[in-house]
Structures are given as structure tokens and as C-alpha cells.
Amino acid sequence: MIPSPLPKWLESSCVRGWRHEAELNSTNDFAIQHAATIDTAQLPYLVLADQQTAGRGRGANRWWSAEGALTFSLIIEPEQWRIGTHLWPRLSVAVGGAVAEALRELAPGEDIRLKWPNDVYLNGRKVSGILVETLPSAPNRLVIGIGINVENSFQDAPAEVTGRAISLVDALPEPPGRFETLAAVLRRLDADFQLLTTNPKVLTNRWRQRCFLTGKFISIGDVERTLSGTCLGLEDDASLLIQTEAGPQRCYAGVVTIAE
């Protein structure tokens, strides 16, 4: 991909290459398609879209992104932060922690929480979703897709949507803009990826303090099984510990449902 010059506000971030499109189907799809051809010197590479027409989420989730939403993907080589493949599951969970921390800076005093593995909640409703994907064409690289409701208001959305989702523009008296939010997230990602190898306890403890699920009765299902029980919180290896009838069980993947 031909390098485009970085704008001033990106120069001080960890990003070394970027592409900004008015519209893409999905920034993750675009990043996956091009990831193997991007020069290492351009990594982390940012793919930013003003609008996505077919944004994807984990499992069967979709990610609708109206104008004003922040939707982007980063192509990274985790080894740049000395993060080996054994730490990739923790990296995925750490991305949620980094987004939560960035939102805490931008929205001090608000209730910001994490729903395992990496959804971010603001005042009880989802404000950000994250999709981390591996690349068969470039096995040492990852695509980190992040969607944050920033300037897209849900004020005219149906109650079914406003009951689940929230946007910074509706929740905060002085909401940040998309680029301000992006810059804060990039700063925090870089800092937290460094902590992942130097002081991971800090990340785990911070995550535990913000866990939305601890103490709640939840079900967690993947292709093989569904487990139900009380969530005991995040383990050091980034799994979620559930107190089931058969005893404590660690979950490494799955979709979480909270019992009403």
C-alpha cells in the first residue's frame, strides 16, 4: 500500500501508516485483505472509516455504524511490544481495558465497565465493541477492530436500541470528538501493550475493578458447551472464572448472557 503522510494529531501516536476512507464495508475486512502486503515500517497501520456498511462483531453480532461513530482497525505485529503468541488471548482482553481507560480519561466520573472478553459499557449500556482477528496470510500479525459510539446520537433510535447502547454525545455534558477519542485510545493501547510484558498485574487488577460481570449470574456458551453460574471475575490468564454447580470453571471463549 502506498504510504500516506500522517496528520499532526497522529504523529505523536504509535501509528506509522494509515488510510482514511469515507466508507468501507468493514475496516476489519479491509485490514485483513491488505495486512500481509503492508511494510513492517508502516506498522501499526490504522484503517479508519467515517462509515461502515457491513461492520462485523464477535459471533453473529453486527456493528451498525452511523455517521459520527468511531470505527477503525489496527494492523499490528504484537512482537513490536515483545508480546509472544502465548500472550495473544491476554492482549485481546487488554484492548478492552485500554479503551475503558481512555474513556475514563475523556469521561471522568462516569461508570465505565468491562464485559468479558472486551465489551465496554458506559452507565450500564454498551458504548464500544472490539473484534480481534488473526491472519492466516500473516500469522505474526493481528487485526484489532474497535467501534466506539462517539458522535452518533441514539436519541431518535428505537427503545430496543437505546436500552442496550449508548453514545458519548448523548451521555456527556462535554463530549469529545472522534479524533480526540481515537488519539486517547491509541495512546492507551501503546501504554497497556507495554505493561502486558513488564507489569501485567496492573492491567489485570484494573480490569477486575471494572468487571461488569463479577457477582452476577451468567451463562457463557461456545460451540461445545454452555456453562451457567456466578461470575467470580477475571483470571491472570485472561479467562473468566465461573462458580458452577460442578465447581469453579475457567472459560476461554464464548458469548456471555446475564440472567435477568
Q: Is 58 in the site for ligand BTN (CB under 6 A)?
A: yes
The separation between the first and the last C-alpha atoms of the chain, rounded to the nearest angstrom, is 48
CB 152 within 8 A of CB 69: yes
Nearer Cβ to ligand BTN, position 152 or 195?
A: 152
Cis peptide before 117 (omega within 30 of 0): yes
Q: From residue 127 to residue 166, what is the string marking binding to ligand BTN with x (rule CB under 6 A)?
A: --xxx-------------xxx-------------------
117 vs 229 by CB, closer to ligand BTN: 117
| In the complex, minimum distance from the CB of residue 250 to ligand BTN, in angstroms, rounded to a whole number | 22
- Least distance from ligand BTN to the Cβ atom of residue 133, Å: 9
CB of 131: closest distance to ligand BTN in angstroms?
A: 4
Regarding 254 and contact with ligand BTN (CB under 6 A), the answer is: no
Kind of pairing, strands 240-244 and 226-234? antiparallel
Angstrom CA distances, 92 to 21, 68, 163, 173, 251, stand at: 25, 25, 26, 31, 14
User: Rule CB under 6 A: is residue 214 a binding residue for ligand BTN?
Assistant: no
Burial category of 130 from C-beta neighbours within 10 Å (exposed 0-12, middle 13-18, buried 19 and up): buried
Interface stretch with ligand BTN, choices 13-21, 24-32, 233-241, 244-252 (CB under 6 A)? 24-32
- Indicate the Cα dihedral angle 63, 10, 17, 65, nearest 10°: 10
**Other Cβ atoms within 10 Å of 98 Cβ, number:** 29
Q: Verify binding: residue 63, ligand BTN, rule CB under 6 A.
A: yes
- Whether the CB-CB separation of 41 and 16 falls below 8 Å is answered with yes
Q: List residues bridging with 46 in a β-sheet.
A: 18, 74
Q: Which of residues 75-134 bind ligand BTN (CB under 6 A)?
A: 119, 129-131
The conformation of residue 199, written as its DSSP 8-state character, comes to -
Question: Least distance in Å: CB of 178 to ligand BTN?
Answer: 13
Nearest CB to ligand BTN, comparing residues 78 and 129: 129
Please state the closest distance from residue 64 (CB atom) to ligand BTN, in A: 10
Minimum distance between the CB of residue 54 and ligand BTN, rounded to whole angstroms?
7
Sites of contact with ligand BTN (CB under 6 A): 26-28, 52, 55-58, 61, 63, 71-73, 119, 129-131, 145-147
